[in-house]
């Protein structure tokens, strides 16, 4: 009788079933997806857009002759427009410099995490928090610079502020291009936040 009976345990230990429950358990133990290749590419794009915005912003300068309506020799005066004259543009430049340095530092963390089968949750969490902070800084700098650009382009008749882009076309084009590139950098930071948040979410499944 002992040779014909089958026991579900061996040496007092229950043999785990290998049905659908075992397959689900194996699936839950699967290492989380490593998305640091995409993360590295986005941080490289952040660096490129930030450096490009800096290069365009620091070259936004132009001199123009302004008619005063006075008799000669004061009928026309020469005035220069530079980004240093606008505090909002200085703030934007500082934010872009910080964004460039931040992208370089985090690219190293992303690069060394690419080959890891299961990247550290602590690194993901720190990157998410820092990305959120940087996105907020870039969004505020871009918003302040964009509002000044809007005033330069259209003016404000209610406050009696005249537009200047009709006299400083080159300056406004360069400053506007820098704001657009800054918006690209801010958008990349938002995508990084979403990517890191998704990676953290996958670890809870």
pLDDT of residue 117: 62
Largest CA distance in the chain: 125
The pTM assigned to this predicted structure is 0.76
Q: Quick check: is 122 in a domain?
A: yes
CA 173 to the chain's CA centroid = 23
Q: Quick check: is 126 in a domain?
A: yes
Q: Quick check: is 8 in a domain?
A: no
User: In DSSP terms, which residues pair with 81 in a beta bridge?
Assistant: 62
pLDDT of residue 2: 46
CA distances in angstroms from 158 to 20, 31, 144, 146, 161, listed in the order given: 72, 61, 20, 19, 8
pLDDT of residue 49: 95
pLDDT of residue 73: 64
Q: Spell out the alpha helix ranges (H) of 77-168.
A: 87-114, 121-154
Q: Quick check: is 22 in a domain?
A: no
Backbone angles phi, psi at 78, to 5 degrees: -100, 125
Q: Give me 28's structure tokens.
A: 């839950």
Instruction: Check if the beta carbon of residue 49 is closer than 8 Å to that of residue 155.
Output: no
pLDDT (tens digit per residue) in 45-69: 999 999 999 999 999 888 776 666 6
What percent of the chain is helix, strand and coil (3-state, nearest 5)? 65, 10, 25
pLDDT of residue 110: 85
Domains in the chain: how many in total?
Answer: 1
Q: Give me 76's structure tokens.
A: 């026309």
Rg, Å, the chain Cα set = 29
Q: Quick check: is 145 in a domain?
A: yes
Spans in the chain with pLDDT lower than 50: 1-19, 22-27
Domain that holds residue 167: 33-202
Beta-carbon contacts of residue 140 (< 8 Å; ≥ 6 apart): 95
179 closest CA partner among 63, 102, 86, 62: 86
Q: Quick check: is 5 in a domain?
A: no
């Amino acid at each position: 009788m002992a040779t014909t009976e089958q026991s579900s345990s061996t040496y007092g230990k229950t043999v785990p079933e290998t049905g659908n429950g075992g397959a689900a358990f194996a699936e839950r133990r699967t290492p989380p997806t490593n998305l640091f290749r995409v993360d590295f590419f986005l941080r490289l794009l952040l660096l490129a857009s930030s450096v490009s915005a800096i290069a365009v912003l620091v070259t936004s300068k132009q001199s123009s002759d302004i008619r005063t309506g006075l008799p000669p020799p004061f009928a026309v005066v020469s005035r220069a427009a530079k980004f240093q004259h606008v505090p909002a543009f200085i703030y934007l430049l500082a934010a872009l410099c910080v964004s460039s340095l931040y992208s370089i530092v985090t690219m190293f963390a992303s690069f060394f995490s690419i080959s890891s089968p299961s990247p550290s949750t602590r690194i993901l969490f720190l990157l998410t928090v820092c990305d959120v902070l940087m996105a907020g800084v870039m969004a505020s700098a871009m918003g302040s610079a964009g509002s000044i650009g809007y005033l330069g382009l259209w003016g404000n008749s209610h406050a009696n502020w005249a537009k200047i882009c009709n006299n400083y076309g080159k300056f406004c084009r360069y400053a506007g291009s820098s704001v657009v590139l800054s918006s690209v950098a801010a958008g990349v930071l938002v995508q990084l936040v979403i990517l890191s948040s998704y990676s953290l979410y996958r670890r809870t499944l």
